[in-house]
Amino acid sequence: MQTINLEQIIHASKFNRFHFGLVALCFLIILFDGYDLVVYGTVVPVLIEEWGLSSVEAGTIGSYGLFGMVFGAILLGMMADRYGRKPAIILSLFLFSFFTMLCGFADNPTTFSIYRFLAGLGLGGIMPNITALLTDYAPKRLRSLLVTIVLCGYSVGGMLAPVFGMTLMPIFGWEAVFWVAGFGLLFIPFVYKYAPETVVRLLQTGNKQEIVRIMAKVNPEVPLSEKDEFTTDRQERAKVPVVELFKEKRALSTVLFWTTYFMSLLMVYGLNTWLPNLMMKAGYGLNSSLAFLMILQGGSIVGAIVVARLSSKYDLKKMLSFLYAIGAVAMTLLGFGGDMLYIYALVAVAGASSVGAQHLIQAYVSQYYPPSVRSTALGTASGMGRFGGMFGPMVGGWLLSMALPTPMNFLAFAIPGIVAATALAIVPAKRAYYSSSEVVGNKERLRENA
């Protein structure tokens, strides 16, 4: 009998069929997650006309799904802690696939809103649980890359929503765009059969037979036996009060980070809901407006990849401020029009900068705080982001109801980016944890937090 550290076996493993299958499954699930989040923005112009909705009413309906996400993140997070990640993923996948599909059968705004809220519960629970599961089994040297690949599934799904909107709505109506989400239900049996439970959960349940079976796939070069004792370096972190984030003269920084997260997701979810409508008010047809939404999501994929490459070479704080600022400039310029290629480029820049910054802000916040409060810092900041995202569609609807000139509409959506860029610019770098410890490069710090 020997004592085996499972985390060390996973870290030393080579990328193989097990990892490929897990990444592919997670990617497809997140693809449907992205589709279901963006699909409402695809049909908003049609729903406004068919149901006689005002911009404020349409924005409020859009926020119901995001409101459900806030509750879903909490409830399904608690479920994952109690019963494991795998059951939480299965329930999340069922909720957002089934109820998004049912939206296509709704014949009035009230029923539609209820379905969107229930779908939002699943949307809120899927991302953190998928990320945690993949992180648990990814080889350490490939962890950040594999997580980035899976998260790109969100943008791919976001691109597919307007594509299906352009192809299905003229023939089958807006309802068919929601029916597509039902295909996500087909992946539930695959998750049940092939997705593993996390290492920590397996150790908690003492299921040695399952541990040996999974580890034989993760790293076949290390033979294990049920007679062995298994451990892991990963431990449950103690709960840290939020007040700790305001100590050591980091109160201003904490408020500024919360402001950045709030404004960032307000802008992202506001654009996902209202960009087609904004472009139609600027004089473009429905299909052209949906194409802009597709390009916004495509730009976000490029942004995530480019930002991941540049983050190891440049100061994170300066990069973040620049990204938010350039996104705000692109949004402002959209209001003044131009030839189609120019407008496409501006929309792509807006998508690349907004989502690219969202990926990078996680790394910067995790570096800024000491390890003892890092989890609390990220959790509370993400919560503020979800809160801001919930208001994005409502704020957009309220602005459009004011019948402002086209340039003012786009400027209004650029303001959150300006606020985020300003907030980050004045974050006092000298209060950062890394500035008071050994000075290392961004690449090394990112590796530590991978």
Q: Which domain holds residue 27?
A: 1-236
Residue 297's Cβ-side half-sphere holds a number of Cα atoms within 13 Å equal to: 29
CATH code of 210's domain: 1.20.1250.20
Which tokens in the block code for residue 349?
Answer: 């820049």
Q: Where are the beta strands (DSSP E) in 298-426?
A: none
| pLDDT given at position 240 | 64
**Residue 243 and residue 363 in contact, taking contact as beta carbons nearer than 8 Å:** no
Q: Is the pLDDT of residue 442 over 60?
A: no
Q: Which of 27-36, 138-147, 207-216 has the highest mean pLDDT?
A: 27-36
What is the per-residue pLDDT across 45-86, written as a single tens digit (0 to 9) for each? 999 999 999 999 999 999 999 999 989 988 888 888 888 889
Q: Where are the beta strands (DSSP E) in 17-176?
A: none
Q: What is the number of domains present in the chain?
A: 2
- For the segment 180-195, the average pLDDT, to the nearest whole number, is 95
- Give Cα 275 distance to the centre of its chain: 19
| pLDDT given at position 416 | 93
Q: List Cα–Cα distances, 408 to 283, 400, 403, 420, in angstroms.
A: 15, 10, 10, 19
Q: Is 233 exposed, middle or buried (0-12, 13-18, 19+ CB in 10 A)?
A: exposed
Q: How far, in Å, CA of 215 to CA of 1, rounded?
A: 17
Task: Indicate the Cα dihedral angle 240, 141, 357, 234, nearest 10°.
Answer: -10
Looking at the fold, whether 258 and 364 belong to one and the same domain comes out as yes
Looking at the chain, the whole-number percentage of residues with pLDDT higher than 90 is 44
- Asked which of 181, 201, 236 is the last residue of a domain, the reply is 236
| pLDDT given at position 258 | 95
What is the per-residue pLDDT across 316-328, written as a single tens digit (0 to 9) for each? 788 888 889 999 9
Looking at the fold, whether 371 and 277 belong to one and the same domain comes out as yes
Which tokens in the block code for residue 191?
Answer: 């998750």
Q: List Cα–Cα distances, 321 to 223, 229, 257, 418, in angstroms.
A: 49, 49, 12, 9
Nearest Cα residue to 95 out of 74, 116, 64:
116
Q: Is the pLDDT of residue 239 over 60?
A: no
Looking at the fold, whether 350 and 419 belong to one and the same domain comes out as yes
Looking at the fold, whether 188 and 249 belong to one and the same domain comes out as no
| pLDDT given at position 234 | 61
- Range name among 53-62, 105-114, 379-388, 431-440 with the lowest pLDDT average: 431-440
What is the per-residue pLDDT across 82-118, written as a single tens digit (0 to 9) for each? 888 899 999 999 999 999 999 999 999 999 999 999 9
Residue 427's Cβ-side half-sphere holds a number of Cα atoms within 13 Å equal to: 29
- For the segment 399-405, the average pLDDT, to the nearest whole number, is 87
Q: Is the pLDDT of residue 235 over 60?
A: no
Q: How far, in Å, CA of 290 to CA of 443, rounded?
A: 38
| pLDDT given at position 41 | 92
Looking at the fold, whether 210 and 262 belong to one and the same domain comes out as no
- For the segment 268-296, the average pLDDT, to the nearest whole number, is 89
The per-residue pLDDT of the chain, averaged, comes to 87
Looking at the fold, whether 323 and 402 belong to one and the same domain comes out as yes
Looking at the fold, whether 192 and 280 belong to one and the same domain comes out as no
